[in-house]
Amino acid sequence: MTASFETNDLKEGDEGVVNAQDDNGMSIKQWMADKKIKLMNETWQKLAEHGFHSIDDLTSLPVNQIMDCLKNELHIKTADRLKLQQALNMLADKKNFIDPEEVVMFQSMQSTLDKLQNEVNGLKLKQSKIAEHKNKTQRMIDEEFAKLIASLNKRKTMLSQQLNAIAMRKNAEIEQEMSKTENVIDDARKMYDATNALLNTAISLDELKVRKSQIAQYQTEMKQAMKMKQENAMQINERIVGVFETQSLVQRIHEIGRIYDVATPLLTDLRCENGSVNVAWHTQN
Model confidence pLDDT, tens digit, residues 14-73: 333 333 334 456 788 888 888 888 899 999 998 888 888 888 887 777 888 888 888 888
What's the mean pLDDT when you consider all of the chain?
81
Q: What is residue 99's predicted lDDT score, i.e. its pLDDT?
A: 67
Residue 190: is its pLDDT beyond 60? yes
Residue 140 or residue 24, greater confidence: 140
Model confidence pLDDT, tens digit, residues 76-90: 998 888 888 888 887
Model confidence pLDDT, tens digit, residues 4-17: 433 333 333 333 33
pTM: 0.48
Q: What is residue 242's predicted lDDT score, i.e. its pLDDT?
A: 87
CB atoms under 10 Å from CB of 226, counted, come to 13
